[in-house]
Amino acid sequence: MARKSEYGSLVHDVLHGPKNLAGSQSFSDIITFVEGPFGLDQPLYPVQRVILKAYYGLPLDDNPYGVDLDAPIDPKHPAYAEIAETRLRPDDPEYGTYRYRVVVTDFRRSSKSRRVLTEAGYLRMLYEQGRCNIREVTPGVQRRELVLAIGRRAGKTQMSAIVTAYEVARLIALDDPQVYYGLPKGEEILLTTVATGEDQAGILFNKANGYLKLRDFYAPYLANSTMSYARLQTPADIRQYGRYADDDKAGATLKITFNPCRAKGLRGHGNLVVILDEEAHFNDGGQSSAEEVYRALAPSMSAFSPKDPVSRRPVGPVEGRFIHISSPLGRQGHFFEMYQIAMLGGAAASKMLAIQAPSWEVNPTLEVSELEKEFVKDATVFFTEYGAQFSDQTRGWIENKDDLLNCVQPDRRPAVRGIPRQEHYMGVDVALSGDGSAVAIGHYDDEERIVVDVVDEIRAGEGDFAELNRLDFEQVADWVASYCDKFLIARGIADQWAGVPFEQALLRRGLRQIEAIFFTGPVSSQVYRNFKDHLLDRKIVLYDWPLPMDPTKGEHCGYIQELLELQQKRRSKYIIEVEAPKSTGKHDDQADALARMIWAASQAKSKQPRMAMPGVRTLPPAGYARLLHNQNRPHVLGGGLDTLRNMGMRNAGPRGHGPRGLGLGRSR
């Protein structure tokens, strides 16, 4: 230990004070520092205490006195003052019970599920249930990388702030941590927390900064702070540069930073502690992904091993700490991968600790009524976000098939033509090979429900295209246009991936009302969420016809069967990916077309986008189509429009396919 200074002695005394009642642990251990009156004076929940003890290699209590864990201790017990829980109010039912016990129940706190364990017994239970990678703690053996999967409102922010506050105090107590770690004089030592966004980073900053300002022993070392970082001086800084309180230009080499999840800007600094807060909810790719942030920060900890002050050779192991802490999400992503590495054991996990625990186990003060309310809303989400269970990577998009089948009218059949003068909406999914190209068409009824008129597909190698291995854009565009002849399409949506050739093929047929959209992950997620909302609200009318003759193809018509088989992956907290199972013969083209049709209809209903037409008053696309439809043209077919060649408009499009700028049908 480096020599103390007059400023460092206060923190030194806090960390290296008198022995505790058991005579074995000094105040330098994190538990006594956090809970003791000379430290943060912050009581921990029993499971939080177990987690920190296991992480820092402190012995877990296993009831050496053999007292009844579920009954108050006799006040005459010789160790009563040490082992009895007396920090509670005397009228609390747990007042006077064993201090180091852990009570485990289900989220409803039912008596049948109640178990009372010691700290060591709780860790053994976690290991036996596959929720922890170690069965017991070897005193003195610290785990440098923590993967902590705990539910919402279980004190993740508090745990992160506690570790930060303790490690800052430990650095100050070293007097000159740069000498201790063999670093160049004046080099910054960082403690970095990375959160999902600036708001969450701000919450963490306020919590950690609150601890630093709460306790007097930090006061002599506090320098400047902003909303994203706090600087502190070491005793060596004060000797060399003077106190920051006297000179705001005085050097301060300890820096606590709080950052949103962006790998850019995190490289190049030496980090003693790194905390990735809510890591499972980081973005999936790019510079904001958990993997990129981890790669940027992990190497920066390698320099933090104690060094010989003369030779600067390592005299101990690396003391850097990496904490992955989050409520879980799916069985994918960097957070789950780190959890898996720890649980698999072996050399890679030798310094890792992984623990999974639900919110109500970690935080026993959570109200049962609040948990019940969240459970009723969505049981699957509840057990992921509060139960801390890694959800399956893939699950059915339709969790209860009745949600879909209740929208089916048994006597409905696919429509051959549209209702005259009725605005219809179209969704298009284009595939030239592999999947089929699909269209879905629907309209609003008097009850504001979207009625599905027809869902159809074509595929290379089948039907009229049996001799082809691949479709081309012209063939798909002709097929789409044939439906526009039969239905008055007010608005359509297609995937922009097909690019310019398909758009040009549509334009040559006068199909300007079909908009090409680039379906990014967030957009596709929103489209399918909109679809699900309409299903659950029964705002869709479906048909289920024709039923398959081959029982191996399911019990329902093609598009209904596709919907029932769709799989959902949760990519982040708010983004899902919906697609067909990765199996031969499974497709999602009709489902995508239907989801896009419903999106087009609901967007048109809420926004009514308008188009400016040369020489004509501005109307919605469908309104303009209806205006022309009422001109008593002789070639109107059903709800669609024939060629406008006889309208005498000068701005007629190429090959007689309607005036430029008009989102109407095609010529025949």
Q: Which tens digit of pLDDT belongs to each residue from 624-635?
A: 344 333 433 333
Mean local confidence (pLDDT), 63-86: 93
Say if residues 262 and 197 touch (Cβ distance below 8 Å). no
180 or 503, which is more confident: 180
Mean local confidence (pLDDT), 183-212: 85
**pLDDT tier, 648 (very low <50, low <70, confident <90, very high otherwise):** very low
Confidence (pLDDT) at 434: 66
- In the chain, the domains with their CATH numbers are 8-63+100-132+147-378 (3.40.50), 402-611 (3.30.420.240), 613-656 (no CATH)
**pLDDT tier, 181 (very low <50, low <70, confident <90, very high otherwise):** very high
Inform me whether the pLDDT recorded for 186 exceeds 80.
Answer: yes
Confidence (pLDDT) at 8: 58
26 or 633, which is more confident: 26
Confidence (pLDDT) at 284: 62
229 or 622, which is more confident: 229
Element (H, E) at 203: helix 198-214
Confidence (pLDDT) at 457: 95
Inform me whether the pLDDT recorded for 47 exceeds 80.
Answer: yes
Q: For the chain, what is the largest distance between any 2 Cα atoms, rounded to a whole number of angstroms?
A: 107
Say if residues 142 and 56 touch (Cβ distance below 8 Å). yes
Element (H, E) at 606: helix 589-607
Q: Is the dihedral of CA 475, 479, 480, 481 positive or negative?
A: positive
Element (H, E) at 222: strand 222-225
Confidence (pLDDT) at 601: 96
Confidence (pLDDT) at 583: 67
Confidence (pLDDT) at 553: 74
Concatenated DSSP letters of 527-586: HHHHHHHHHHTT-EEB---SPPSSGGG-SS-HHHHHHHH-EEEE-SSS-EEEE--SSTT-
**For 65-82, b where at least 16 C-beta lie within 10 A, e where not — what string?**
eebebeeebeeeeeeeee
Mean local confidence (pLDDT), 427-456: 92
164 Rama sector, left if φ>0, alpha if ψ -120 to 50, beta otherwise: alpha
Confidence (pLDDT) at 21: 33
Confidence (pLDDT) at 222: 93
Mean local confidence (pLDDT), 254-258: 92
Q: Is 5 helix (H, G, I), strand (E, B) or coil?
A: coil
Residue 307 DSSP one-character state: B
**pLDDT tier, 521 (very low <50, low <70, confident <90, very high otherwise):** confident
Does 37 sit behind a cis peptide bond, omega within 30 degrees of 0 on the bond before it? no
Mean local confidence (pLDDT), 34-53: 92
Confidence (pLDDT) at 31: 93
Inform me whether the pLDDT recorded for 147 exceeds 80.
Answer: yes
Inform me whether the pLDDT recorded for 180 exceeds 80.
Answer: yes
Report the distance separating Cα 354 and Cα 511, nearest Å.
57
**pLDDT tier, 6 (very low <50, low <70, confident <90, very high otherwise):** low
**pLDDT tier, 202 (very low <50, low <70, confident <90, very high otherwise):** confident
Q: Give which of 202, 177, 203 is closest to 190, Cα–Cα.
A: 177
**For 372-406, b where at least 16 C-beta lie within 10 A, e where not — what string?**
eebbeeeeeebbbbbbbbbbbebeebbeeeeebbe
Q: What percent of the chain has pLDDT over 70?
A: 83
Confidence (pLDDT) at 659: 32
357-405 pLDDT, tens digit per residue, is 999 999 999 999 999 999 888 787 888 889 998 876 556 788 888 999 9
Confidence (pLDDT) at 501: 85
313-353 pLDDT, tens digit per residue, is 999 999 999 999 999 877 778 898 999 999 999 999 999 99
Confidence (pLDDT) at 618: 34
Inform me whether the pLDDT recorded for 150 exceeds 60.
Answer: yes
Confidence (pLDDT) at 268: 64
Inform me whether the pLDDT recorded for 581 exceeds 90.
Answer: no
Confidence (pLDDT) at 573: 66
Q: How far apart are the first and last CA of the chain?
A: 91
The pLDDT mean for the chain works out to 83
Q: Give which of 258, 254, 271, 184 is closest to 218, Cα–Cα.
A: 254
263-317 pLDDT, tens digit per residue, is 666 766 789 999 999 898 887 665 667 888 888 888 889 899 999 988 889 999 9
Q: What percent of the chain has pLDDT over 90?
A: 55
Lowest mean pLDDT segment, chosen from 240-254, 436-450, 507-521, 609-623: 609-623
Report the distance separating Cα 278 and Cα 328, nearest Å.
8
**pLDDT tier, 474 (very low <50, low <70, confident <90, very high otherwise):** very high
Nearby residues of 131 by Cβ (< 8 Å), 6 or more positions away? 355, 356, 357
Element (H, E) at 360: helix 359-362
Mean local confidence (pLDDT), 417-421: 94
566-579 pLDDT, tens digit per residue, is 988 777 767 888 98
Inform me whether the pLDDT recorded for 641 exceeds 90.
Answer: no
